[in-house]
A = this chain, B = another copy of it.
Amino acid sequence: MTNTIPWELYRSLLAVLQEGSLSAAARALDLTQPTVGRHISALEAALGQTLFTRSQAGLLPTDAALALRPHAEAMHSTAAALERMAHGLGSEARGPVRISASEIVGVEVLPPLLAPLRDRYPHLEIELLLSNRVQDLVLREADIAVRMTPPQQDVLLAARVDDAVIGLYAHERYLQQHGTPTTLEALAGHALIGFDTETPFLRSAAQRFSLWQRANFAWRSDNDLAQRALLRAGAGIGVCQTRLVQPGSGLVRLFAQEFALPLPTWVVMHADLRSSLRCKVVFDALVQGLRAGPAVG
C-alpha cells in the first residue's frame, strides 16, 4: 500500500460531502472551485473509486463516498482536537475547551458552574456541545463530557459526581384541575409527558415503572427542555431532574419515595488532556461543582 495520498484530499472530500458541491466546498475551505475539483479527481484516481457522479446541479456522492465520510469526519475531529490542544499548551489556562453534555445539563447546570471559572481565567473559551446522543470522546469531538453512562474506555479519565435524581412532577395548576394521583396505577388516567424515541436507558427505566412506556404518553418529546416547559405549562405529569426544580416554580413532586431514579453521573476527559492546563481546570471545576450539588439558575 503506497501510503502517499495527501491528507489534504480527505479534507476536500469531507467539505464536498458536507456542502454538496465543489463550489460550495471551495468557499468553505477558502479555496477555489477548480482546486477542489482537482482534489476530488486526484482522490478518485488514488483510491480507484468514483466518488461523485458529476452533474451541473451539484455532485451526487456515490456509495463509496458515503462510506468514506465517517472516516473523513473522524480526521476532521482529530485535527480540530489537535489544534484545540495546541492552542493552550502553555502555562496559562487559555484557549478553547469543548464540553459535551445533555441539552438540559448544558442549559441549566453548567452555566452557573462555568461562569465564575471564566472570571478566574478570562482567556478560557468554552464550547458547549449539547445533545442527548452520547458524544464520542474517543473521536475527540469534545474534550470533556458530562455523562450519565459509565465511562467505557480506559483511556478516559473519569470522576464520578453526585447522582442526578429523576423525579416525577406536575404543576400545581394541573393537579388542581385533574386531581392528584394517589397510586402509581392511577397515573394511567393522566396526561403523561414522556420520551419519543426509545433508548437503552429508557428501556431499563420502563422495566422498573411499567407505565413509563411510549404508548402511554399524551405528550412525547426527546427534548428535555420541551418536557420541562410542558410541565411548567401544566400540560401533564412528567419526569425531571430534582435538582432542576426551583422552589416557587409551582412544580410538585409526586411519589417521591416510589419514583426516584438515580442517574449515576460522571465527568469524563481524555487522559491525554491532563497535561492541558485549561482542560484540567475545567474538569476540576465541573467535578467540584457537580459534587457540591448545584442549584438551578
A interface residues, Cβ below 8 angstroms from B: 1, 3-8, 10-11, 30, 47-49, 63-64, 67-68, 70-72, 74-75, 78-83, 85-87, 89-90, 96, 134, 136, 138-140, 152-155, 200, 272, 275-276
Complex contact A79–B7 (CB within 8 A): yes
Complex contact B67–A272 (CB within 8 A): yes
Closest-CB distance, A167 to chain B (whole angstroms): 27
Complex contact A78–B80 (CB within 8 A): no
Complex contact A68–B80 (CB within 8 A): no
Complex contact B47–A86 (CB within 8 A): yes
The answer, among B47, B68, B79, for a CB contact under 8 Å with A75, is B79
A85 proximity list for chain B (CB < 8 A)? 67-68, 71
A5 to B1, CA, bound (A): 26
Complex contact B89–A64 (CB within 8 A): yes
The answer, among B49, B86, B96, B153, for a CB contact under 8 Å with A48, is B86
Q: In this complex, what residue of B is CB-closest to A73?
A: B78
A82 proximity list for chain B (CB < 8 A)? 10, 68, 71-72, 75
Q: A67-B85, A72-B82 are in contact. Are A153 and B140 (CB under 8 A)?
A: no
Number of copies: 2
Complex contact A71–B64 (CB within 8 A): no
A49 to B89, CA, bound (A): 8
A140 to B139, CA, bound (A): 10
Closest-CB distance, A69 to chain B (whole angstroms): 9
5 contacts between A and B (CB under 8 A): A49-B86, A71-B78, A74-B140, A75-B79, A134-B154
Complex contact B1–A47 (CB within 8 A): no
Besides A7-B8, A8-B8, A134-B154, 15 other A-B contacts (C-beta < 8 A): A1-B96, A3-B83, A4-B30, A7-B10, A47-B86, A47-B87, A63-B275, A67-B272, A67-B276, A68-B82, A71-B78, A71-B81, A75-B79, A152-B153, A154-B200
Complex contact A86–B72 (CB within 8 A): no
Closest-CB distance, A281 to chain B (whole angstroms): 16
A138 to B70, CA, bound (A): 11
A4 proximity list for chain B (CB < 8 A)? 30
